[in-house]
Structure 1
Amino acid sequence: MQKQHDILKLAKELIRIPTIPNSKVHLKQALDLVKSSLAEYTIEDFFANGQISSLIHNQAKGFRNFKFVLNIHLDIIPAKDNQYSPKIIGDKLYGAGAMDMKANAACCVLVFKEYAKNLDYPLALQVTTDEEIGGFDGTAYQLKNGLTAEFVISSEPTNLDIVNQAKGIMWLEVEFKGKSAHGAYPWKGNNALFQASDFITKLSGKIKNPVKKDWITTINFSKLNTVNKAFNKVPDQACLGMDIRFVPGDHDRILKVIKKLLPKGAKLNILTNEPAMDVDPENMHIKSLQRITKSITNKKCKLYAAQGSSDVRHFVKLGMPGVEFGPVGGGIGSDEEWVSISSLDDYYEIIKTFLLDATK
């Protein structure tokens, strides 16, 4: 029970800090809290574009080649003020970021604190503050500075199953060029918004969104803007924003379809282009994690594909395998986000056993 007490104590302390993206003071406060718990280890801080992160490990300063990296993030989706006051009802801990991933992070911090010094291999705890906005200045920046890993576990919430696949992300903008005219004489112009509408219709026919959860490529038409501010003018410019989530192997096909449908004069801009995650299910560390999870929970640990993405993708695209693996919870990003307290106990034991087994 002492271990559960310690996990809940740290989780609640983290939940009370409103670590929304770019809230520099609060993000630093949470990171300092984690670092204060692990002062006996090597702590290296990183700064990039105003974002802070830390690499905490059991080796000498400057070491970068680890067997395992436990990846956690402290930033959360913004929540209502009352959600920063954690509460326990039955087996559930409620609070802002409880399952994504304040409580999960608490487990990893405490496992690392207790056991990293006893391992005969290099282990790192990577703590970032920008995962919710892409992870480019935390995880990706540390990788640019030489971090490597044989295997990575990101403590994303997975209900004690394992995510070994995730969709890739493309954020695209299409700029449409038309011809302006007076609104009373539309035939004298070429309406850029009409071009965008026609493009949306055609692309929607090629990439059909599912009506329920499915493992296929999806498209979200997220923005449509024009510089035109007048009611009585035909707009000669429009900009369409798209969020495309593609399954492994579908990237090139999607781009080909989009480029083929572009009208004359339109320009495609690729703002974000992050690859899909696809890690071999036969990976020895995945098998070990499945076996240990089953032995502790008496339930089969399944592999599944995630609709969203995490910082694991930054490792995977560089050839370093990793997975998302975390405790049971619900209501992610909602007013009633929660994590199962009993599953935190299991999660702690699973991560501990996984790390200790690797020394045998």
Structure 2
Amino acid sequence: MNPRDLLAELIAIDSVNPDLVPGGNGETAIADHCTDWFRHNNFEVHRLEQRRGRPSLVAVRRGTGGGKSLMLNGHIDTVGTSGYDGDPLAPEIKDGRMFGRGAFDMKSGVAAMMVAATKATEHPLRGDVIVACVADEEHGSFGTEEVLTRFTADAAIVTEPSHLEVTLAHKGFVWFDVEIEGKAAHGSRPELGVDAIAKAGHFLVALEQLGQDLTTRHHLLGTGTVHASLISGGEEASTYPSSCRITLERRTIPGETPDVVENELRKILDHLTATVPDFRATLTRGLARDPFEADPDAEIVRTLIAGLGEPPVIRAEPFWTDCALLDRAGIPCLLFGVDGAGAHAATEYVDLASLDRLTDVLTRTITGFCG
């Protein structure tokens, strides 16, 4: 039962997220493979597929009773393969590393948790062991959201890559669209037009200043951030633009809510409306995801650290993960995964020694928490 062999099998299966890459293969084939693997290893298997062709898989090994349940969570979708240096679906081992799309983010974590759950339950434990292989983390995370409508646990571990460091916090984010209103007119008639793009410049300057003014710090994550992500406007060179749309992202730290962020932006827009002639804009909130912070004294954190057998490195991540959804559902959790590099990049690899180490630590953690 080797996580390296399982990882190679998973890398070879195209599971590109079709919400990121139109026409992407999705999770069906890899979910089928994991289903066969779990059934061969005598797990109870549940397939969840509210969105057709986008399945998540939950495999359960029931305990004898009286123990705590633990969920291991990892996503089986990947980003696209276009532009990858070499064959992204042909796992290659070189210098102690395995290369391929998803090797680092995060089929390595999926392979480790599958093998660890099997090893840890070779002898019955008192608590249930739940392994969630989820869809769509790379886009909207509806996979974990769907799992949480059917399953819960006393604690969870998300096996996103963390360089074998104990990750106890990460940032959240909120997306907004700002629509600046102008007035179309021929370029030769400035007295009739209002340049929405020029008005948008006032907002962009204020947005940059907002980023500089974000001084509230988290002890692991630092400050929140804000940036303009997309901008579009105008019809043709000889016409004053009637509108300009800016999409922005605000990365949040614990304590910063979507409402707090929206109020920041509305204050800026209200000020510009009052001080800049002909400035008019509307603000629309998009996708929002909470930041995450684990309790360092939670039993699952203490159990995993004990399984390390050495003083841990405690860290936080600037990116968002499914930990926030588990935490919001009342499941104490943390993030712990492999070492490597190349998430979303042209070359991606996992350090194979770290894959073995992750599998061992997870095995000990499962036994300690559920036993």
Q: TM-score, normalised by structure 1?
A: 0.89
Over 4 Å off, 4+ runs: 23-26
Equivalent position of 1:274 in the other structure:
289
C-alpha distance in 2 between matches for 1:282 and 1:66: 17
Match of 1:53 among 36, 51, 56: 56
Q: Percent identity?
A: 23
C-alpha distance in 2 between matches for 1:147 and 1:209: 42
Equivalent position of 1:33 in the other structure:
33
Contact 1:19–1:75 under 8 Å retained in 2: yes
Deviation of 1:248 (Å): 1.2
Equivalent position of 2:9 in the other structure:
13
C-alpha distance in 1 between matches for 2:172 and 2:112: 28
C-alpha distance in 2 between matches for 1:331 and 1:53: 25
Deviation of 1:335 (Å): 2.3
C-alpha distance in 2 between matches for 1:243 and 1:355: 37
Letter in 2 for 1:54: L
Letter in 2 for 1:10: L
Equivalent position of 2:228 in the other structure:
221
Contact 2:221–2:316 under 8 Å retained in 1: no
Contact 1:222–1:242 under 8 Å retained in 2: yes
Contact 1:66–1:124 under 8 Å retained in 2: no
Deviation of 1:351 (Å): 0.5
Letter in 1 for 2:76: L
Letter in 2 for 1:267: T
Structure 1 unaligned segments of length 5 or more: list them.
none
Deviation of 1:318 (Å): 2.5
Q: Which shows bigger deviation, 99-108 or 178-187?
A: 178-187
Match of 2:161 among 152, 157, 160: 157
Letter in 2 for 1:30: I
Equivalent position of 1:111 in the other structure:
116
In structure 1, the residue corresponding to 2:160 is in which secondary structure? coil
C-alpha distance in 2 between matches for 1:148 and 1:342: 31
In structure 1, the residue corresponding to 2:111 is in which secondary structure? helix
C-alpha distance in 1 between matches for 2:291 and 2:26: 32
Deviation of 1:130 (Å): 0.7
Letter in 1 for 2:10: L
Letter in 2 for 1:127: C
Deviation of 1:333 (Å): 2.0
Letter in 2 for 1:256: N
Equivalent position of 1:242 in the other structure:
248
**Is 1:68 the counterpart of 2:102 in the alignment?**
no
Deviation of 1:48 (Å): 2.3
Letter in 2 for 1:322: C
In structure 2, the CA distance between the partners of 1:266 and 1:123, relative to structure 1 (3 Å rule), is same
Contact 1:134–1:311 under 8 Å retained in 2: no
Q: CA RMSD in A?
A: 2.2
Report how many residues are paired: 343
C-alpha distance in 1 between matches for 2:44 and 2:175: 38
**Is 1:130 the counterpart of 2:142 in the alignment?**
no
Matches within 5 A, 1:328-347: 328-347=339-358
Structure 2 unaligned segments of length 5 or more: list them.
215-219, 274-279
C-alpha distance in 2 between matches for 1:24 and 1:126: 22
In structure 2, the residue corresponding to 1:261 is in which secondary structure? helix
Contact 1:290–1:302 under 8 Å retained in 2: no
In structure 2, the residue corresponding to 1:351 is in which secondary structure? helix
